[in-house]
Amino acid sequence: MSQSIFPVHWIHLTLRGDERGDLVVVESERDVDFAIRRVYFLPRTALGVARGFHAHKHLRQVLIAASGSCRILLHNGKCAYDVILDSPTKGLEVNPMMWHEMHDFTEDCVLLVLASDLYDESDYIRDFNEFLSLANPR
Ligand code: T46
């Protein structure tokens, strides 16, 4: 599969606010097309550390660099694609069966994640070979 048709789904958020500063809104089932049931954020990832390295079976998520930046490596079972999160107005949809890794966190990165469901460890596929088998059934 060529990188140009890798299915990357962006959500474009509007920068609101005024002379006092910026304000970005994300509304459940409006800006994101699922009901947000959980919000979590990664505020202080140590330099050089990479996180993620899993896919979800059912969970839908939107990732936003609320400050700073990081690189997200996506793998759909066929090929990999890198995207940069570097703006609080850019939301990256990470849908089920999309392997994702987070790399190159800047010191000031706060990665905000909006999720369609509560935390459930049984929804994770943390083994890449298992992910490849499930994504490419014979
Ligand atoms: C994801 C990426 C973007 C909880 O207890 N509740 C939670 O809601 C979450 C997200 C995690 N945890 C626990 C599970 C682990 O013991 O926190 C610990 C660290 O989680 P994990 O190693 O999965 O963290 P990351 O940064 O590798 O991945 C996280 C999310 O877990 C994951 O769903 O898509 O961020």
Query: Would you write out the chain's pLDDT as a tens digit for each of its 138 residues?
Result: 445 589 899 999 999 999 999 999 999 999 999 999 999 999 999 999 999 999 999 999 999 999 999 999 999 999 999 999 999 999 999 999 999 999 999 999 999 999 999 999 999 999 999 999 999 998
DSSP string, 44-79: -PPTT--EEEEEESS--EEEEEEES-EEEEEE-SS-
Q: Whose CA is nearest to atom 9 of ligand 1?
A: 119
Residue 138: per-residue pLDDT: 86
Distant-in-sequence, close-in-space partners of 112: CB < 8 Å, separation ≥ 6: 39, 41, 63, 64, 65, 66
- Cα 138 from chain centroid (whole Å): 28
Instruction: Decide: 103 in ligand 1 pocket, CB within 6 A.
Output: no
Instruction: Decide: 45 in ligand 1 pocket, CB within 6 A.
Output: no
Instruction: Decide: 41 in ligand 1 pocket, CB within 6 A.
Output: no
Return the ∠ at Cα 98 (arms to 96 and 101), rounded to 5°.
130
Residue 5: per-residue pLDDT: 82
Residue 28: per-residue pLDDT: 98
Residue 2: per-residue pLDDT: 47
For residue 116, give the DSSP letter.
S
Ligand 1, residue 113: give the atom nearest the CA: 3
Question: What six digits make up the tokens of 2?
Answer: 């060529």
pTM (2 decimals)?
0.96
What is the number of other CB atoms lying within 10 angstroms of the CB of residue 45?
Answer: 20
Residue 56 CA to residue 124 CA, distance in Å, equals 5
Catalytic residue among 54, 58, 75, 100: 54
Residue 31: per-residue pLDDT: 97
- Check if 54 is active-site: yes
Residue 1: per-residue pLDDT: 45
Residue 4: per-residue pLDDT: 55
Residue 3: per-residue pLDDT: 52
